[in-house]
Amino acid sequence: MGVPQELSDTMIKTPLDARGSHETVASRNAAASPAAQNEAYAADSLLPTPTSSGQARILGDFPTFVAALDYAAEGRSGFNIYSGRGQLLEQLGYARLREEAMETAHRLLGTGLVRGDRVAIIAESDGDFARVFFGCQYAGLIPAPLPLPVAFGGREAYVATLRGMISSAGARAVFVPDIIAGWTSEITEGLDLAYAGNATGLQDVTPTTAALPEIGPDDLSYLQFSSGSTRFPVGVAVTQRAGMANARAIARYGLRVRDDGDRCVSWLPLYHDMGLVGFFLTPLTCQLSVDLLPTREFARRPQVWLDLISRNRGTIAYSPSFGYELCARRPIPGPLDLSCWRIAGIGGDMIRHHILEAFSERFASSGFPASAFVASYGMAEATLAISFAPLDTGIETDTIDLRHLEMHGVARPCDDPSNALRTFILCGRVLPEHEIEVRDSRGRVQPDRHVGTIYVRGPSLMQGYFQAERETRAVLDDHGWLNTGDLGYMLNGQVVVSGRAKDLIIVNGRNIWPQDLEWSAETEIVSLRSRDVAVFSVDEEGSERIVALVQCRATLAAERERLRDEAASLFRRQHGVEVSVILVPPHTLPQTSSGKLTRARAKAMLLAGQFPEVASSAA
């Protein structure tokens, strides 16, 4: 959609030398004292913060994120903001972030905001987001990170969704990044706001002289909006205590952050839980440096992510499956050394093992260790992480008889190629102090390999959906158990996620997972790519009809007809089901703010006649 171009490279004073930066950082790490190094780094904004913080490592053992930043500010690490081309735009050490966040807090309160007010921040991956987010933390305000327009159907739809989020949060201030500054009036028109504009505009606000409030563990830290895959997004209310509990568990048990040598590199959006908690809050609570790339540039230049890992010796980086696929499909950006990458995390969507295998093969010559892959499972309602696979073992899979699963709900192991097979990824054990159960429709805990609904409980769970008691009661019971809405099974203490309950298609007693059909088409049909197919069912006079929306790039009628017939034949041959294949133009299948395909929205768009016609079939 019509997002403005990235900030001009002419705004960058001098590009960071891509080949020499690691050597320079290493030499700077050897400076005499932490205080002297901190001052030196602050004086030279063209060098990223060092990997070593120069202080005793504390792994998230703080009462609040404010306390975590107070401690991190005593060291040398921090955030490093890069352009989509991999040039360093801003070095924001935690010491400077703390100082500027506290100044921002005084100015926020100077606008007339009071403790407990919500502040919507359209989240660009830049220093302004960090300053405003932590300014809110110090001021006792509740930030609500909101998405940039990268996953919506157009400007009008984006603005409408955004205004709904702002209203749902009851926000009294809205921060709009410069890249969409021209949309500010549309976004904020008619809203009762104490402030609307960019972060720079706060400089015109007279700061309050009152002391900043004391922040406690039971105060709300932020609102995390759901990705909006099934309904209008609702704000997940995360307390300081819950957020810190998850960050601590991730650092200690999931990632096993090292005393020295770990560094994070991320392109993940800061309005999504994986980006916000995984690569913004958790690293800060562990005093780790983070190299941040703009999310909106990743699809255009995914190789920059790998180059930055290689250049700055990053050790921890995460992506959904499609990120690894994009990297594997593009040319390798010159010499890479990925041997430093010890945790190549995978999460955020159903994990496709063949994509990870292709990535491993492609970058083996660059030193990438396949053992670095780490599967995990989580959701915003649990702050972020629920489980982690063991480190240093790579991806562990479980191949099962798909027809037996569909008919009996049991994941029976099978390696007979004459059978229809499905390979799942084991997503690890639940984090310490947390619990996980797989239950049937009557609430009974299921034995290994029996599919049911996944429930979790623990200190990381949300307080509830913000000002949405009915929605909260629908998923959180009186005993603290969260119904995740996911289906899966347990295997030797590890959880295996098989799909979303809402997506399940039931035909003639068979439980059909739509991603099985989607993955078959995207794997077997050469012209298709990941996220090119959306499968769901529609009710027609009491019976279900399976529909597949397929993004078509062919321009000739004969080629379109061939694609439609090939897909319908594939579904019939491999899955034994009749599917109505409808071709839609490229880039029209809707995605959530985190880049996941949203079948529910695709279905709603189809029923509303919102897809431009390419070709259709009533197979």
Q: Is the pLDDT of residue 508 over 90?
A: no
Give the Cα separation of 224 and 49 in Å (integer).
28
**Percentage above 70 pLDDT, the chain:** 89
Q: How confident is the model over 211-252, as pLDDT tens digits?
A: 999 999 999 999 999 754 445 678 999 999 999 999 999 999
Q: Report the sign of the C-alpha dihedral through residues 17, 21, 27, 29, in that order.
A: positive
Q: Compute the average pLDDT of residues 531-550.
A: 88
Confidence of residue 49 (pLDDT cuts 50, 70, 90): very high
Q: Compute the average pLDDT of residues 6-13.
A: 28
Q: Is the pLDDT of residue 483 over 60?
A: yes
Higher pLDDT, 20 or 148: 148
76 contact partners, CB below 8 Å, separation of at least 6? 34, 37, 38, 41, 49, 50, 52, 53, 54, 93
Q: Report the sign of the C-alpha dihedral through residues 6, 9, 11, 15, in that order.
A: positive
Question: Is 130 within 8 Å of 105 (Cβ atoms)?
Answer: no
Ordered strands of the 543-551 beta sheet: 533-540, 543-551, 579-584, 615-616
Higher pLDDT, 343 or 600: 343
Closest CA to 269 of 225, 220, 327, 222: 225
Q: Is the pLDDT of residue 283 over 90?
A: yes
**Percentage above 90 pLDDT, the chain:** 78
322 contact partners, CB below 8 Å, separation of at least 6? 349, 355, 530, 531, 595
End-to-end CA distance of the chain: 32
What is the residue-wise DSSP string for 15-64?
A: ---TTTHHHHHHHHHT-S-HHHHHHHHHH-TTSPPPS--SS----S--SS
Domains of the chain, CATH where assigned: 9-63+71-90+248-377 (3.40.50.12780), 96-239 (3.40.50.12780), 396-502 (2.30.38.10), 504-616 (3.30.300.30)
Q: How confident is the model over 84-121, as pLDDT tens digits?
A: 999 999 999 999 999 999 999 999 999 999 999 999 99
Q: Is the pLDDT of residue 155 over 80?
A: yes
pLDDT at 594: 59
Q: Is the pLDDT of residue 359 over 90?
A: yes
Q: Is the pLDDT of residue 256 over 90?
A: yes
Q: What mean pLDDT, rounded, does the chain reach? A: 89
Confidence of residue 18 (pLDDT cuts 50, 70, 90): very low
pLDDT at 231: 53
Q: Compute the average pLDDT of residues 330-343.
A: 94
What is the residue-wise DSSP string for 214-276?
A: P--TTSEEEEEE---SSSS--EEEEEHHHHHHHHHHIIIIIS---SS---EEE-S-TTSHHHH
Confidence of residue 71 (pLDDT cuts 50, 70, 90): very high
Q: Compute the average pLDDT of residues 7-26.
A: 30
Which ranges of 465-531 does DSSP label H, i.e. alpha helix? 469-475, 514-524
Give the Cα separation of 155 and 235 in Å (integer).
22
What is the value of pTM for the model shown?
Answer: 0.86
pLDDT at 27: 37
Confidence of residue 32 (pLDDT cuts 50, 70, 90): very low
Confidence of residue 539 (pLDDT cuts 50, 70, 90): confident
pLDDT at 600: 86
Give the Cα separation of 135 and 106 in Å (integer).
8
For 150-190, what is the HEC assignment? CCCCCHHHHHHHHHHHHHHHCEEEEECCHHHHHHHHHHHCC
Average the pLDDT over each of 4-18, 25-39, 107-121, 344-358 and give the range with the smallest value: 4-18
* DSSP secondary structure code for residue 388 in this structure: E
Q: Is the pLDDT of residue 605 over 50?
A: yes
Please give the single-letter amino acid code of residue 492.
N
Average the pLDDT over each of 41-50, 121-130, 376-385 and give the range with the smallest value: 41-50
pLDDT at 595: 65
Q: Is the pLDDT of residue 43 over 90?
A: no
Confidence of residue 542 (pLDDT cuts 50, 70, 90): low
Q: Compute the average pLDDT of residues 362-391.
A: 97
pLDDT at 436: 98
pLDDT at 149: 82
Closest CA to 24 of 312, 243, 251: 312
Q: Compute the average pLDDT of residues 483-511.
A: 93
Cα radius of gyration (the chain): 24
pLDDT at 234: 86
Confidence of residue 16 (pLDDT cuts 50, 70, 90): very low
